[in-house]
Amino acid sequence: MTLGELVDAGALAMLESPPTLMSTDAGSDMLTAKDIRLGRASSKIGDPRTPGAVTAQQGDVVVAVGVPTMARVCAAEVLVAPGVMVLRGNPTVIDAVFLSGVIRAAGESAAGKQVDLFAVNFPRLPLGGQRDAGAAIGRLMDIESAWRAQRLVVERLVGAGLAGLATGTLRAQPGAGDVGE
């Protein structure tokens, strides 16, 4: 069945903040699509009193709409920026981690095209099967998070090394880095 059919059956709600919700200097933490794609905490502040503003709750799936489509389970209540879809499933029918993995897989297979969330196929698995698959998806997401953290450290190390060598604050050891040593 599709996510649209789950919406029609009342097992899933799809919510989105209006484009009039803008970043402000004061208000509530606001999660953006870029935050979701980078796997980071909310980076903006928004006014939750904006008509139609949506706040994701812990356990909701937040989706960065666009290319690439990314999804994750929300860990805490947070205002969502335009361009972020909130999927709130009935927890007696839908496992949130499994749902986030289904959306990630749809985004991966979209080959650079925007995903129509209503058309995404959701496998007919009992809740127990969804939870088992969701646990495996959670482990994969943990691996991805660890990789992102390592990548950031390597990028900073390389950047500092390049800057140091380029400005003369670091000196290369003769022969260091030669292949075969």
Q: Give me the CATH number covering residue 49.
A: 3.90.220.20
pLDDT digits 0-9 by tens, 94-143:
999 999 999 999 998 888 888 999 999 999 999 999 999 999 999 998 99
Phi, then psi, of 39 in degrees rounded to 5: 70, 35
146 within domain boundaries: no
pLDDT digits 0-9 by tens, 5-58:
999 999 999 999 998 888 888 889 999 999 999 888 999 999 999 999 999 999
Could you give the CA distance from residue 152 to residue 137 in angstroms, rounded to a whole number?
23
Domain count, the chain: 1
101 within domain boundaries: yes
What domain range includes position 130?
3-135
Q: Which of 38, 133, 68 is nearest to 95 (CA)?
A: 133
169 within domain boundaries: no
